[in-house]
Structure 1
Amino acid sequence: MSASTQKVKYPFWYGGASSMVACLVTHPLDLAKVRLQTASKPGQSLVSMVYQIITKEGFFKIYSGLTASLLRQATYSTVRFGVYEYLKDSYVDTYHRTPDTVVLLPMSMVAGALGGLVGNPSDVVNIRMQNDSTLPVEQRRNYRNAFDGVFRIVKEEKISALFRGLMPNLTRGILMTASQVVTYDIAKNILVKDIGMDANKKSTHFSSSLLAGLVATTACSPADVVKTRIMNAKGGGSNALTILKTAVKNEGIGFMFRGWLPSFIRLGPHTIVTFLALEQLRKFKIGM
């Protein structure tokens, strides 16, 4: 293999670790986004939702469900980033060239689906913990942490409850990985090769990840809203089609983009911090 096609193989866990760092920064915004998506009446802003949580529930409530968010990134993001990079490395080893977009897209879709499958249990717990304070006292689940949530769901609702909302979550995982990770790779490649930016500078990483965040937010919004509502629903009778039909009938087609701005305000910084952290791990070769 020529020097130009040689590729350093980084540890499988880099993507998950980077996403966990980003999670610590953006969790309050994620919490507000979930609350907006599950609200019975639209209209409240992200800022007012954050303010309402702090004033009515206390400052530290903006980190409700943090353990579940971290567990979700440790499972979902580790798998989707790890599988995507593994497939890219395997392609380079086999064909001795960098894969183009036509190849990257199916790779990212496989990685996203596997990540969505592995991360679904922690995602169910995450949604429930973030939204618990909005329920009537007698309906609250009061999970102590993510592991307590997983244990109690299995005990009280059977193990199948951990995979509620799996189809929209797989769809979101595919859309998220394809739009976020592939967009980042393509944008970075264009900025470096066509515009002449330095591949090692944070400004290049920031610009690429900002574009990736915009594309990912738009692509994932419909699946994200439906997934959130299914996972938060009481009982086992709700499915994606039923929730979709009911929401469109009662709220109009625009419900699928409910919370787009707060989603971007969360996903934009999350994407930026994730890729900045990822590039730093690669730069210093942590754990290698």
Structure 2
Amino acid sequence: MSEKSNDRGIQLYTKEFYAACTLGGIVACGPTHSSVTPLDLVKCRLQVDPTLYKSNLDGWKTIIRKEGFSKIFTGFGATAIGYSLQGAGKYGGYEFFKHFYSNSVLGPELSSKYTTGVYLMASATAEFIADIMLCPFEAIKVRQQTTVPPFCNNVFQGLSKIYTLEGLQGFYKGIVPLWCRQIPYTMCKFTSFEKIVQLIYSKLPKPKSEMTTLQQISVSFTGGYLAGILCAIVSHPADVMVSKINNDRKSGESMVGASKRIYQKIGFGGLWNGLMVRIVMIGTLTSFQWLIYDSFKVKVGLPTTG
């Protein structure tokens, strides 16, 4: 990948480029994840107790009736902060590590042969770092959503309460299952997106360079939705375990011990509780994230992804 400028004067693979991509990740992830908080709330509760609600609609009706309308947005604040930070690390990091692995590790000749490997390594590295920023807020969100009455009323109360009760360890006791969920998810998300978008462009009657911005962003939206379905399926079992462990890990219990105990309780079938809800949620999230991210890149004068 050679460095070059675009019409807006931002040189690719410079500090300004990565800053723009990082900001784009915040704009793409924070609002989209926050907007589906009601869906995420029902999903997390069903993962912990599949008999709690008959459907999403039943879940919302029950929550509104018993807890009040505002409670369907339980976890909104932690979601907004956590996934904004994660989006910064994920998207900005992906652009950085994609260029780093292509040029500094493999070199142009090898990277052109092993593009899939570059996408996988870059997305995995970026997500590993992004999850360190996300984990404390994910811990607060899950506890808020899976306890009635909620574990805390807001993010700051949650931070204070967890730190007082468990110290820093309390914020990161779910980091391993979070990595197990998010790293495969992001590897699938970015790699399948790149490949799907390449396939779509190869089937269209004219090359990407001759397409309008709206046409290119439409391709990103379509590729994002299809990639979202795939990564939702790949990461779902770990998503269930994140909810279970944050909700039900006993004091002093190891991660392995907690995982074994929970798996013995729910079995293989339990790992797939809430899958259809998550497919709808993640497919929608991923498509809109790519739509927003690439629209933001175009707005600041950068090319669309893919």
Structure 2 length-normalised TM: 0.82
What's 1:75 paired with?
85
**Conserved 8 A contact 1:25-1:270:** no
What's 1:66 paired with?
76
Question: Structure 1 residue 50: deviation in Å?
Answer: 2.3
Distance 1:67 1:42, change over 3 A: closer
- State how many pairs are aligned: 281
**Conserved 8 A contact 1:112-1:175:** no
* From 58, 61, 75, the counterpart of 1:48: 58
What's 2:43 paired with?
33
Distance 1:242 1:56, change over 3 A: same
Aligned mates of 2:60, 2:174 — CA distance in 1: 26
AA aligned to 1:206 is: F
1:165-191 deviation digits (Å, cap 9, x = unpaired): 111111112112101122112211211
Answering whether residue 260 of structure 2 is matched by residue 245 of structure 1, we say yes
* From 90, 98, 108, the counterpart of 2:100: 90
Aligned mates of 1:286, 1:32 — CA distance in 2: 39
What's 2:8 paired with?
none
Aligned mates of 2:4, 2:202 — CA distance in 1: 17
Aligned mates of 1:166, 1:72 — CA distance in 2: 13
Q: Determine what percentage of the aligned residue pairs are the same residue.
A: 23
1:178-214 deviation digits (Å, cap 9, x = unpaired): 0112211221121113444756324312210111111
What's 1:215 paired with?
230
AA aligned to 1:113 is: F
Question: Structure 1 residue 234: deviation in Å?
Answer: 6.0
Question: Structure 1 residue 55: deviation in Å?
Answer: 2.7
Distance 1:66 1:128, change over 3 A: same
* From 176, 186, 194, the counterpart of 2:195: 186
**Conserved 8 A contact 1:227-1:240:** no
**Conserved 8 A contact 1:31-1:63:** yes
Question: Structure 1 residue 275: deviation in Å?
Answer: 1.0
Unpaired segments ≥5 residues, structure 1: none
* From 146, 150, 165, the counterpart of 2:155: 146
**Conserved 8 A contact 1:115-1:173:** no
Question: Structure 1 residue 260: deviation in Å?
Answer: 0.4
**Conserved 8 A contact 2:37-2:76:** yes
AA aligned to 1:185 is: E
What's 2:171 paired with?
162
Unpaired segments ≥5 residues, structure 2: 6-10
**Conserved 8 A contact 2:97-2:125:** no
What's 2:34 paired with?
24
Question: Structure 1 residue 42: deviation in Å?
Answer: 7.0
Aligned mates of 2:159, 2:37 — CA distance in 1: 20
What's 1:131 paired with?
146
Question: Structure 1 residue 259: deviation in Å?
Answer: 0.6
What's 1:110 paired with?
125
1:13-40 deviation digits (Å, cap 9, x = unpaired): 2112210121232111111111111116
Distance 1:269 1:238, change over 3 A: farther
**Conserved 8 A contact 1:22-1:270:** yes
Aligned mates of 1:234, 1:240 — CA distance in 2: 8
Distance 1:187 1:235, change over 3 A: same
What's 1:231 paired with?
246
